[in-house]
Amino acid sequence: MPSIRHLTILGSTGSIGVSTLDVVTRHPNRFQIIALTANHSIEKMLEQCRLFRPRYAVMLDKGSGEKLQMAIREAGIATEVMWGVESLEKVASLPEVDTVMAAIVGAAGIRPTFAAARAGKNVLLANKETLVMAGRIFMDVVKQHHATLLPIDSEHNAIFQSLPHHFTGDLAAVGVRRILLTASGGPFRQSSLASLEQVTPEQACAHPNWVMGKKISVDSATMMNKGLEVIEAHWLFNAAPEKIQVVIHPQSVIHSMVEYVDGSVLAQLGNPDMRTPIAHALGLPDRIETEVASLDMFKIGRLNFEAPDFKRFPCLGLAYQALAAGGSTPAILNAANEVAVESFLKRRMPFTAIPIMIEQVMQSVSRKDIASLEDVLEADREARETAHDWLSSLV
Ligand code: NAD
Ligand code: MG
């Protein structure tokens, strides 16, 4: 039997968190949950504590923490309840934890994800925003503290699976010509530019293939998600931007590909279900069972491919620009995007204003060099302020 893995799941009540717990449930002899964390979904957290009996549960704010604490006591559960960002950092770096699933959404995930890397953990990275905002310094921290970084994002997990085991950061050395990063194209793949003006949050969140949290669903609809993933791939695999080709593949069956200098293209395929990449990373080096159905090739019938349209989806181009600019620019892009997505979800601005706001913020906030996490957080703060100012100027 393999030795038991001791887990902290950051963002356990979200889409990735729930899928992780689903995989864990099937393998009680492999995994033990030490800590779970959430923003403020008390009911979901209470239920998870009932089922998984973690040693710690962390809520973001004191109010939610105190309410959960009361409910946990009443239910007679021994879980210790904590709250605040410091507590998130604490459970990400506990000595008794070896593996941390980083599945908080957005910039809010950066501090605990850094804490896990600094503590040398096995970091399962779903929170792509950490790499977008702070790619260089995050990769340095991973190296310095001998952490292990495993990609959960389905595309990056597919690339990881299609690279040779001895890959250590030099694509040319293992004969890679380029990376083909697949994208579903989102719910508006075939919509005209004019029709995008009227799009509602409900339409934007109705992804054709994946069921995900709201923020990443809107990112998929604008294709910012693919832009963020280009930046993510750049840092994870040390890939120059021109070596990353985005390929629209509406069926989301091929999760990404690696092309080698001999002309071979290796791909990872599967049903679009995040439990596959999660199980891959949790089980490594073993393959472990999930309830993901077999891929029915006859039902799928055909696989299609298209080039991305930068005109209808300007967010993709903005992400490439941010990657080329470097320094604090990707953090500025990310912050502006988070404010824009939130404002769109609250119906404070139209879908098509998302790239406009991001571009404005990228132009207004000046690029700085990044030497530390503090520098990143400062750029994030400044960009958010500028985005909010821009939004206020609209009304
Ligand atoms: P989600 O919104 O479903 O869940 C987010 C989780 O983070 C929840 O547990 C929530 O309580 C917690 N959270 C939110 N704000 C927080 C804050 N300020 N402080 C602390 N905790 C907070 O999101 P998701 O879809 O599970 O995505 C999580 C991450 O994984 C994102 O970075 C996303 O880009 C990435 N990802 C998701 C998918 C997917 O299929 N859902 C696929 C690839 C990558
Ligand atoms: Mg993805």
Q: What is the largest CA-CA distance in the chain?
A: 64
Q: Is 345 exposed, middle or buried (0-12, 13-18, 19+ CB in 10 A)?
A: middle
The CATH number of residue 123's host domain is: 3.40.50.720
Give the H/E segment covering residue 49.
helix 42-52
What's the CA-to-centroid distance between 9 and ligand 1, angstroms? 11
Asked if 353 and 361 touch (Cβ cutoff 8 Å), the reply is no
Regions of the chain where pLDDT drops below 50: none
What is residue 123's three-state secondary structure? strand
Split into its structural domains, the chain has a count of 1
What's the CA-to-centroid distance between 182 and ligand 2, angstroms? 9
Q: Which atom of ligand 1 is nearest to the CA of 212?
A: 41
- 96, part of any domain: yes
Q: Which atom of ligand 1 is nearest to the CA of 274?
A: 40
Helix axes 128-144, 329-345, angle to 10 degrees: 150
What's the CA-to-centroid distance between 108 and ligand 1, angstroms? 9
Asked if 119 and 145 touch (Cβ cutoff 8 Å), the reply is yes
Q: Considering every ligand atom shown, identify the ligand nearest to the alpha carbon of residue 272 and give its number.
A: 1
- 318, part of any domain: no
Q: Considering every ligand atom shown, identify the ligand nearest to the alpha carbon of residue 125 and give its number.
A: 1
pLDDT confidence of residue 210: 78
pLDDT confidence of residue 207: 81
- 380, part of any domain: no
- 273, part of any domain: no
pLDDT confidence of residue 142: 98
Q: Is 3 exposed, middle or buried (0-12, 13-18, 19+ CB in 10 A)?
A: exposed
Torsion of CA 23, 26, 31, 37, to 10 degrees: 50
- 288, part of any domain: no
H-type alpha helices, 60-200: 62-74, 85-92, 110-118, 128-144, 154-162, 193-196
What's the CA-to-centroid distance between 186 and ligand 1, angstroms? 18
- 217, part of any domain: no
Q: Considering every ligand atom shown, identify the ligand nearest to the alpha carbon of residue 19 and give its number.
A: 1
Q: Which atom of ligand 1 is nearest to the CA of 112?
A: 20
The binding-site residues of ligand 1, defined as CB within 6 angstroms of any ligand atom, are: 11-17, 38-39, 41, 60, 103-105, 108, 126-129, 153, 210, 212-213, 215-216, 274
Among 43, 212, 209, smallest CA distance to 126 is for: 212
Which residue's CA is the closest to the ligand 1 atom numbered 15? 39
DSSP secondary structure letter of residue 203: H
pLDDT per position as a tens digit, 209-238: 878 899 999 999 999 999 999 999 999 999
Q: Which atom of ligand 1 is nearest to the CA of 154?
A: 43
What's the CA-to-centroid distance between 304 and ligand 1, angstroms? 29
- 83, part of any domain: yes
Which residue's CA is the closest to the ligand 1 atom numbered 4? 14
* SS3 annotation, 233-272: HHHHHCCCHHHEEEEECCCCCEEEEEEECCCCEEEEECCC
Give the H/E segment covering residue 148.
strand 148-151
- 27, part of any domain: yes
User: What domain range is 13 assigned to?
Assistant: 5-151
What's the CA-to-centroid distance between 154 and ligand 2, angstroms? 5
